[in-house]
């Protein structure tokens, strides 16, 4: 389990945490929200402990993929990037995230810092000019060591052969230093599985890496040689220091950099760990700059046990949950349900179940019961109490143990167990209330004695609620603010700044405190909540379809959810439908018809709604390569150009089409079909054809008019 660095060991008493900067090839989704919520919760907690905290997020906006996506959307790269970046920032603001800075890699302050670092490494002899001929994955914005025409080993998409003049960074010179770093500072790469992965990569022998491109114009120019653009991954990683003022001579920027660098935590998606734990520390070592204290990788967020992907149409937007249940419900679910560092699963059903059980029926109901009874029996003023009995002492002891457990587990980033231990206290207090039954006066007990019992029970429960609320505030900031007010304690954010939420101990809620009027916290989610979210998500997916067509610039494949990603993306996606040919071969026809086309022939075929059809992404592609697959009579291996990317598709049409006659032909493909491996090759899509005759002979769909590649069929 990852562990947060301890700022108390730093004389600066500062804490700097960063999200990955999100790539602007698609609108934000739940995976982006997860990473950012984790950072926000950690930042809120550090601030409440009196630690000077800086929380950075932002967007990565350069690179070949953005250049191509913008062109496909009919926009300039700057317009395209600004529109998507604006959606990220708008969502973070709507969610109330407390980032201290939002960096965009298209900002002048960032460009200035990137160029300064590049020049520094060049002057120190770590960057030299050369040339590169090899394979490049546009989707991952990464140079890869594979043969021409081979798929990218990370995302499976077809790579492109490039040959161009480049500047190279002497990464090979840092192999020994990096291995020493991992050995002497194991906390640098967390969790352990990611450290093992990075160590194995470095031990396999490092090669010098290209840090510039000449075939791309959308990026930061190399200082003094502006026909070169700085490689997007060099550009992106430097955001962590340019946001603090690196590259600026202004005194306030220098002071901020000195105060907060090195970063305590870079939180990233596991698929981009190599860039952050190999390239980034090597760049910093070469520049003589301090290294970040830890790079911590979170897992992927799955939807119904499948990786979310825009192209599949199974993306869940955070806005959907905000609209129905609110931001705190989303924050609680993601941190309670997912064991940090591991992949986690999201479903609307699980969200509603957890919301009702823990928030509506648990914490929210407990607060409502106690505040209402204080108003009913004591006019809204917390009464004086006498000596505590055994039951009250037990609750006090439970609270003390919970404080220790929660703090320990939170610092270990084991948010799920931290909340589990805290909700055990919620259940204990709720059980204590039920057993004590202050609303019920036994016949043999006097009114005065019963009033004393009521006072003791309600004061004990209210104090336990204060402790629960203080602990969970970084995770439920909006709801705990309401509870703090109801307890008569004022503004919880001001209390956090004063340090009232740290060093918790029993007895902070004094007799005579006037409670505010009770107000609902978590109205129970009824059965239609799931249907409402599903309906909203269908609307979001339809909006995304329109965006792909050009209205908002969403044109390229979505990154795998993580994170939390910068330019690294993937395409492991859920199946859209079953193939119609033998199980080992992907279907050549995605839409099956009959020659007669009669009504009778269509009987028994289920009708679908527009939201179902919107999930299928049909696009025009041009065949670049067509060849038979050895030992597979029915299979052809096709390489197709979609305009914004190239792909490999395996099609079961070898018995009907000669490969050489397909080259240059425009076809229709299902662009968001889940990848499948056949005969050791990965297929990313499906060619659309009619199925003709008794034997289902395929006839490829085509066009009479000249249709541009990449165009979407609607």
The 3-state DSSP class for residue 316 equals coil
Sequence-separated (6 or more) residues with CB below 8 Å from residue 706? none
pLDDT band at 115 (very low <50, low <70, confident <90, very high): very high
Same domain for 205 and 291, yes or no, is yes
Distance between CA atoms of residues 579 and 673, nearest Å: 11
- Give the model confidence (pLDDT) of 450-478 as tens digits: 999 999 999 999 999 999 999 999 999 99
- 36 in the same domain as 172: yes
Q: Is residue 573 situated within a structural domain?
A: no
pLDDT tens, 339-390? Answer: 998 988 899 999 999 999 999 999 999 999 999 999 999 999 999 988 889 9
Residue with tokens 């018809």: 593
Q: Which residue has the higher pLDDT, 651 or 580?
A: 651
Task: Specify the range with the lowest mean pLDDT, choosing from 7-21, 178-192, 212-226, 454-468.
Answer: 7-21
The rounded percent of the chain whose pLDDT value lies above 90 is 61
409/412 Cα distance (integer angstroms): 5
The CATH code of the domain that includes 459 is 1.10.730.10
From CA 323, how far away is CA 326, in angstroms rounded?
6
3-state secondary structure of 48: helix
Q: Show which of 307, 335, 359 is a domain's final residue.
A: 307
How large is the average pLDDT for residues 608-626? 81
The fraction of the chain above a pLDDT of 70, given in percent, is 86
Does residue 128 lie in a domain region? yes
Same domain, 292 and 360: no
Per-chain mean pLDDT for the chain = 86
The whole-angstrom distance between residue 494's C-alpha and the CA centroid of its chain comes to 30
Q: Please tell me the distance from the alpha carbon of residue 69 to that of residue 83, in angstroms, as a whole number.
A: 13
Beta bridge partners of 15: 53
The answer on 361 and 239 residing in a single domain is: no
Structure tokens at 544: 């995304």
Task: Write down the residue that tokens 């299979």 correspond to.
Answer: 635
Residues 365 and 287 in one domain: no
CB 244 within 8 A of CB 257: yes
pLDDT digits (tens, 9 = 90+) for 152-176: 877 778 888 888 899 999 999 999 9
pLDDT at 503 over 90: yes
Domain annotation covers residue 236: yes
Residues 62 and 177 in one domain: yes
Residue of 72, 103, 71, 80 whose CA lies nearest to 26? 80
- pLDDT: is 672 or 425 the higher one? 425
Q: Tell how far CA 615 is from the center of its chain.
A: 22
User: Rounded distance, CA 338 to CA 520, Å?
Assistant: 27
pLDDT at 159: 86
Number of domains the chain is built from:
3
Q: What mean pLDDT is predicted for residues 596-609?
A: 45
What pLDDT does 215 receive? Answer: 85
Residue 529 placed within a domain:
no
Residues 190-207, mean pLDDT to the nearest whole number? 94
Predicted pLDDT at 255 = 96
Per the DSSP assignment, residues forming a β-bridge with 229 are 213, 221
pLDDT higher than threshold 80 for residue 88: yes
Q: Is the confidence at residue 253, as pLDDT, over 60? A: yes
Q: What is the dihedral of CA 105, 111, 117, 121, to 10 degrees?
A: 100
Residue 243, pLDDT > 50, answer: yes
| Same-domain status, 303 and 358 | no
Q: In this structure, what are the phi and psi dihedrals at residue 646, rounded to the nearest 5 degrees?
A: -110, 150
* 359 and 411 belong to one structural domain: yes
What is the predicted pLDDT for the residue at 572? 26
Do 2 and 266 touch, CB atoms closer than 8 A?
no
Q: Which residue range forms the structural domain that includes residue 102?
A: 7-307
Cβ atoms of 300 and 272 within 8 Å: the answer is no
Contact by Cβ (8 Å): 345, 302: yes
What is the pLDDT, as a whole number, of residue 564?
Answer: 33
Confidence of residue 313 (pLDDT cuts 50, 70, 90): low
> Residue 59's beta-bridge partner residues?
22, 104
pLDDT band for position 595 (50/70/90)? Answer: very low
At residue 311, does pLDDT exceed 70? no
- Position 9 pLDDT exceeds 60: no
- Kindly tell me the sign of the dihedral angle through the C-alpha atoms of 364, 414, 474, 380: positive
State the pLDDT confidence band at 142, using cuts at 50, 70 and 90.
Answer: confident
- The CATH number given to whatever domain includes residue 641 is 2.40.50.140
Contact predicate 556/67, CB 8 Å: no
Q: Give the list of residues 6+ apart from residue 623 with CB closer than 8 angstroms, or none.
A: 638, 639, 640, 662, 663, 664, 665, 666, 667
Is residue 47 located within the same domain as residue 143?
yes
Nearby residues of 588 by Cβ (< 8 Å), 6 or more positions away: 581, 651, 652, 653, 686, 687, 689, 698
Tell me whether residue 518 is in a domain: no
pLDDT over 60 (residue 581): no
pLDDT, tens digit, 9 for 90 and up, residues 480-500: 999 999 999 999 999 999 999
Residue 226 clears pLDDT 70, i.e. is over it: yes
Distance CA 698, CA 95 (A): 50
Note whether 244 and 357 are same-domain residues: no
- Residue 704 CB burial class (10 angstroms; 0-12, 13-18, ≥19): exposed
Torsion of CA 65, 70, 71, 73, to 10 degrees: 130
298 and 360 in a single domain? The answer is: no
CATH of residue 158's domain is: 3.40.50.620
Mind listing the pLDDT tens digit for each residue in 129-141?
998 788 888 877 7
For residues 273 and 394, membership in a common domain is answered with: no
Question: Within a domain: residue 433?
Answer: yes
Find all residues with CB under 8 Å of 680, minimum gap 6, and list them. none
Distance CA 68, CA 83 (A): 16
Determine the pLDDT at residue 260: 98
Q: Averaged over 676-680, what is the pLDDT? A: 79
What's the pLDDT score for residue 132? 79
Estimate the crossing angle of helix 477-486 against helix 365-378, to 10 degrees. 10
The whole-angstrom separation of Cα 564 and Cα 267 is 8
Structure tokens at 414: 């084991």
586 occurs within a structural domain? no
- Asked if pLDDT for residue 443 goes beyond 70, the answer is yes
Is residue 585 in a domain? no
Q: Exposed, middle or buried, 697 (CB in 10 Å: 0-12/13-18/19+)?
A: middle
Domain boundary among 456, 477, 498: 498
DSSP 119: H
Give the end of a domain, one of 447, 476, 498: 498
Q: Give the lowest-confidence range in 189-193, 366-370, 614-618.
A: 614-618
């Amino acid at each position: 389990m990852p562990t947060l660095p301890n700022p108390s060991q730093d004389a600066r008493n500062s804490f700097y945490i960063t999200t990955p900067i999100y790539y602007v090839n698609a609108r934000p989704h739940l995976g982006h929200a997860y990473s950012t919520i984790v950072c926000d919760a950690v930042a809120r907690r550090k601030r409440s402990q009196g630690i000077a905290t800086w929380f950075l997020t932002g967007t990565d906006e350069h690179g070949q993929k953005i250049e191509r996506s913008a062109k496909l959307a009919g926009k300039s790269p700057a317009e395209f990037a600004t529109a998507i970046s604006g959606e990220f920032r708008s969502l973070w603001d709507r969610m109330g995230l407390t980032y201290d800075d939002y960096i965009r890699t298209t900002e002048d302050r960032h460009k200035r810092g990137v160029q300064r670092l590049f020049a520094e490494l060049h002057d120190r002899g770590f960057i030299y000019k050369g040339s590169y001929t090899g394979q490049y994955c546009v989707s991952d914005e990464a140079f890869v060591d594979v043969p021409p025409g081979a798929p990218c080993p990370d995302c499976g998409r077809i790579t492109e052969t490039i040959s161009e003049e480049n500047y190279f960074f002497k990464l090979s010179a840092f192999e020994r230093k990096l291995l020493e770093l991992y050995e002497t500072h194991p906390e640098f790469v967390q969790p352990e599985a990611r450290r093992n992965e990075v160590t194995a990569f470095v031990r396999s022998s490092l090669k010098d890496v290209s840090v510039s491109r000449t075939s791309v114009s959308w990026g930061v120019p190399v200082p003094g040689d502006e026909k070169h653009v700085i490689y997007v991954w060099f550009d992106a990683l430097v955001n962590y220091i340019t946001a603090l003022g690196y590259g600026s001579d202004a005194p306030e920027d220098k002071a901020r950099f000195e105060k907060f660098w090195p970063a305590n935590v870079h939180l990233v998606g596991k698929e981009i760990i190599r860039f952050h734990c190999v390239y980034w520390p090597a760049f910093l070592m070469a520049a003589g700059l301090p290294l970040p204290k830890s790079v911590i990788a979170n897992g992927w967020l799955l939807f119904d046990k499948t990786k979310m992907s825009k192209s599949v149409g199974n993306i869940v937007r955070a806005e959907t949950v905000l609209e129905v249940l609110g931001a705190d419900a989303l924050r609680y679910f993601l941190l309670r349900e997912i064991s940090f560092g591991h992949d986690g699963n999201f479903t609307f059903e699980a969200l509603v179940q957890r919301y009702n059980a823990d928030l509506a029926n648990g914490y929210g109901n407990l607060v409502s019961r106690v505040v209402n009874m204080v108003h009913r029996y004591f006019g809204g003023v917390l009464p004086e109490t006498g000596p505590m009995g055994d039951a009250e002492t037990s609750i006090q002891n439970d609270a003390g143990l919970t404080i220790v457990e929660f703090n320990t587990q939170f610092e270990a980033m084991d948010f799920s167990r931290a909340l589990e231990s805290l909700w055990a206290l919620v259940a204990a207090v709720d059980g204590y209330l039920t057993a004590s039954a202050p609303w019920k006066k036994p016949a043999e007990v006097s009114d005065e004695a019963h009033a004393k019992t009521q006072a003791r029970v309600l004061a004990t429960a209210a104090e336990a609620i204060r402790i629960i609320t203080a602990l969970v505030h970084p995770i439920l900031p909006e709801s705990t603010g309401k509870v703090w007010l109801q307890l008569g304690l004022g503004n919880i954010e001001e209390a956090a700044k004063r340090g009232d939420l740290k060093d918790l101990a029993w007895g902070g809620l004094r007799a005579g405190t006037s409670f505010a009027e009770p107000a609902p916290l978590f109205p129970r989610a009824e059965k239609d909540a799931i249907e409402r979210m599903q309906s909203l998500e269908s609307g979001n997916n339809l909006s995304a379809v329109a965006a792909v067509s050009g209205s908002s610039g969403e044109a390229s494949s979505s990154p795998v959810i993580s994170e939390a990603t910068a330019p690294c993306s993937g395409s492991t996606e859920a199946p859209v439908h079953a193939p119609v040919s033998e199980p080992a071969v992907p279907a050549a026809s995605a839409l099956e018809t009959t020659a007669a086309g009669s009504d009778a022939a269509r009987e028994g075929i289920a009708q679908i709604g527009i939201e179902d059809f919107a999930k299928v992404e049909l696009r025009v592609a041009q065949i670049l390569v067509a060849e038979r697959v050895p030992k597979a009579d029915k299979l052809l291996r096709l390489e197709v150009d979609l305009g914004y990317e190239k792909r490999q598709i395996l099609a079961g049409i070898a018995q009907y089409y000669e490969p050489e006659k397909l080259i240059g032909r425009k076809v229709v493909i299902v662009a968001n079909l889940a990848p499948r491996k056949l005969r050791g090759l990965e297929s990313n899509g499906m060619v659309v054809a009619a199925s003709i005759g008794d034997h289902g002979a395929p006839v490829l769909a085509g066009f009479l008019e000249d249709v541009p590649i990449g165009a979407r069929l609607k």
